[in-house]
Amino acid sequence: MSNNFVFVLDSNKKPLLPCTPGIARSLLKANKASVFRTYPFTIILKKSVEKQEVKQCKLKLDPGSITTGIAILQDNKVIWVAELTHRGQQIKDDLESRRSLRRGRRSRTTRYRKARFLNRKRPDGWLAPSLKHRVLTTMTWVNKLIKLIPINSIATELVRFDTQKINNPDISGTGYQQGTLYQYEVREYLLEKWNRTCAYCGAKNIPLEVEHIVPKSQGGSNRISNLTIACVPCNQTKSNRDIKDFLANKSSLLHRILSQAQTPLKDAAAVNSTRWKLFNTLKETGLPVTTGTGGQTKFNRTQQQLEKRHYLDAACVGDTPQLEILTLQPLLIKCTGHGNRQMCGTNKYGFPIRHRSNQKIHKGFETGDIIKAIVTKGQKIGNYIGRVLVRASGSFDISTVTGRVSGISYRYCSHMHKKDGYQYSYHGS
C-alpha cells in the first residue's frame, strides 16, 4: 500500500493527473520537476504539456462536526485522502470568553460604555461563527484541490444524521424503514454517540448491538434517549432486566449511562445546520455536485468491508461501486487559525496584564511556519523539522515530532511551508 499520490502541475500551473511517489522521486532526481508545495505535496514540471488526455477525478467529502473526510477517486481508485479537523469549539469558547470580559467591564464602576445589543441585524442565511468556520475551511480545501488536480465532479453527504428519524423512526413511513438502509441511520448515530464502545463494560473493536436501556417488555420505547450500544455478552446478561437492577452495585456507571443517554444531538445538529450552506457553496464552483446520506455511506462501507475512518467514509459517499484503495495514509490537516488579534492580554478577571507586539514577522519567519533547521555547531547539533515559534531576538523554538527544541538561531533555519492557518501531519508522525 503506497502513500498518497503526488499532485503534478505543468510549467503553466495547469493541473495534470497525479503520479505515484516513485515517479515523483524520479522526476525530481532527473531535474525534470521541482517541489511546488510541501502540503499537500505537489511538484511542478519544467515544461508545459499542451496535448495530453487528462483523466478527470472525483472529489468526495464526508462533512463532520469535528472532522471532515476528503477523498479523491480516479476510475474508482482512491488515490489521495485527507482528514480535516475543524476548530469550531475553540471559536465558540473564544467568543464566550470575549463576551464575559465585555460584560464584566460594563458592570464595573468605570467610565460608562453603552450596551450595544440592538444595533446589529443578522443577514439571511446567517450561521454562528463556529458553524460558518466548518463551511469556510471545507471550501478552502475544495478550492485548493481544484487548482492542483483535474476534478470533474464533487460528491458530499447532505444528511449526516436525520434527527427526526432518530427520534421517531416511523416518521417517513414503513417502506423506507424496511429497505436496505433499515436502522443504519440510528445505529450509525449510536456508534458515534457512545464512541464505538460497550456502554456497560467498555469493550472496543468487537461486534456491538443496539440495546434498550429500559426494555421494551417493561414499556421502553425506540427513542434515541432509550438506546445504547452493548457487546453481545453484556446484552445477553442484561436481557430484559431494568438497568437500575442490572447496575445496582455500580452507581457511578449507572449515572454516567443515564446522563449520556440524555445528551442532546449537538454534533448532528451542527452538521445539519451547515449542510445546505455547504451544498450551495459547492455548487458555486461550477462542478456537478451529487449527494448521499450518512446511512448510505455506512451501508457502502460495510458492503466493501472497510474500517471506520473519516477518509474511507468520504470515499463511500453516494453511489459507490467496488473501490480499489491505493493509499491508507491520509494527510491530517488541523485548523489552527492565523493567530490572535487581541492586542491587550487579560487575566481571568478581565484586567490587562500584557500587551502584544503588532509585528508578527521576525528575521523573515513567522510563528506557525514549517521550517527545517540544520544546526552545525553548539550544543544542539542536528537537523530539526517542525513548526517554529519566533522571537524578535532571532532565537526560535521548533516543535518537532519528538518534542520542543528551544534556542535555535534563525541563521540555521530555512522555509519548508509558510504558515497558512493549518497544521499538517501523517498517521504515526
Average pLDDT over residues 41-48: 93
- Averaged pLDDT of the chain: 84
Most confident of 22-26, 257-261, 263-267, 349-353: 22-26
345 versus 312: the higher-pLDDT residue is 312
Predicted local distance difference test score (pLDDT) of residue 388: 92
CATH code, residues 358-426: 2.30.30
What is d(CA 182, CA 185) in angstroms, rounded to the nearest whole number?
A: 8
Looking at residue 269, its pLDDT comes to 73
Asked if 131 and 237 count as a contact pair (C-beta separation under 8 A), the reply is no
Of the ranges 85-99, 138-152, 176-190, 339-353, the best mean pLDDT one: 138-152
The predicted pLDDT at position 86 comes to 94
More confident residue, 33 or 341: 33
Strands 382-389 and 352-355: unpaired
Q: What is the pLDDT of residue 402?
A: 85
Q: Cite the DSSP H helix spans in 194-341.
A: 232-238, 243-246, 251-261, 266-283, 294-303, 310-315
Q: What is the pLDDT of residue 170?
A: 45
**Dihedral (C-alpha) 159, 286, 73, 30: value to the nearest 10 degrees?**
-150
Q: What is the reported pLDDT for 160?
A: 56
Neighbours of 374 (CB within 10 A): 12
Mean pLDDT of 57-85: 93
For the chain, give percent helix, strand, coil, nearest 5: 30, 30, 40
What DSSP element (H or E) covers 8? strand 6-9
Cell triple for 217: 417488555
Partner residues linked to 395 by β-bridges:
409
- Residue 429 has what pLDDT? 52
Confidence at residue 174, expressed as pLDDT on a 0 to 100 scale: 42
56-100+128-158+272-335 is a CATH 3.30.420.10 domain: yes
Give the burial class of 57: count Cβ atoms within 10 A of its Cβ; 0-12 exposed, 13-18 middle, 19 or more buried.
buried
Model confidence at 426: pLDDT above 80: yes
Residues 328-354 have a mean pLDDT of 84
45-58 mean pLDDT: 80
CA distances from 237 to 17, 209, 240, 247 (A): 56, 13, 9, 11
Among 19-23, 96-100, 220-224, the minimum mean pLDDT is found in 220-224
- Please give the average per-residue pLDDT across 246-258, as a whole number: 85
In this structure, what are the phi and psi dihedrals at residue 245, rounded to the nearest 5 degrees? -75, -40
- Compute how many other C-beta atoms are within 10 angstroms of the C-beta atom of residue 129: 12
Domain chopping of the chain, boundaries: 1-54, 56-100+128-158+272-335, 163-264, 358-426
Binned at pLDDT 50, 70 and 90, residue 413 comes out as very high
Least confident of 63-77, 174-188, 307-321: 174-188
Strand pairing category for 57-62 and 151-159: parallel
Tell whether the model's pLDDT for residue 138 goes beyond 50. yes
Q: Which residues lie closer than 8 Å to 105 by C-beta, 6 or more apart?
A: 113, 350
Supply the pTM of this predicted model: 0.76
Question: What are the cell numbers at 247?
Answer: 447496575
Q: What is the pLDDT of residues 263-309, one digit of tens each?
A: 666 666 777 788 889 999 999 999 999 998 887 888 889 888 898 89
Grid cell of 113 as nine digits: 460604555
| Half-sphere CA count of 33, side-chain side, radius 13 A | 24
Helix axis angle, 294-303 relative to 184-193, nearest 10°? 90
pLDDT over 90 percentage in the chain: 39
At 371, is the pLDDT very low, low, confident or very high (cuts 50, 70, 90)?
Answer: very high
Fold of domain 163-264: DNA Binding (I), subunit A (1.10.30)
User: What are the tens digits of pLDDT across the range 162-192?
Assistant: 555 555 544 444 433 444 444 556 777 788 7
Residue pair 30/67 in contact by the 8 Å Cβ criterion: no
Q: Are 145 and 151 in contact (CB under 8 A)?
A: yes
Beta bridge partners of residue 345, listed in sequence order: 354
Task: DSSP letter for 196, please.
Answer: T
CB 354 within 8 A of CB 345: yes
| Cell 482512491, located at residue | 78
pLDDT for 6 equals: 95
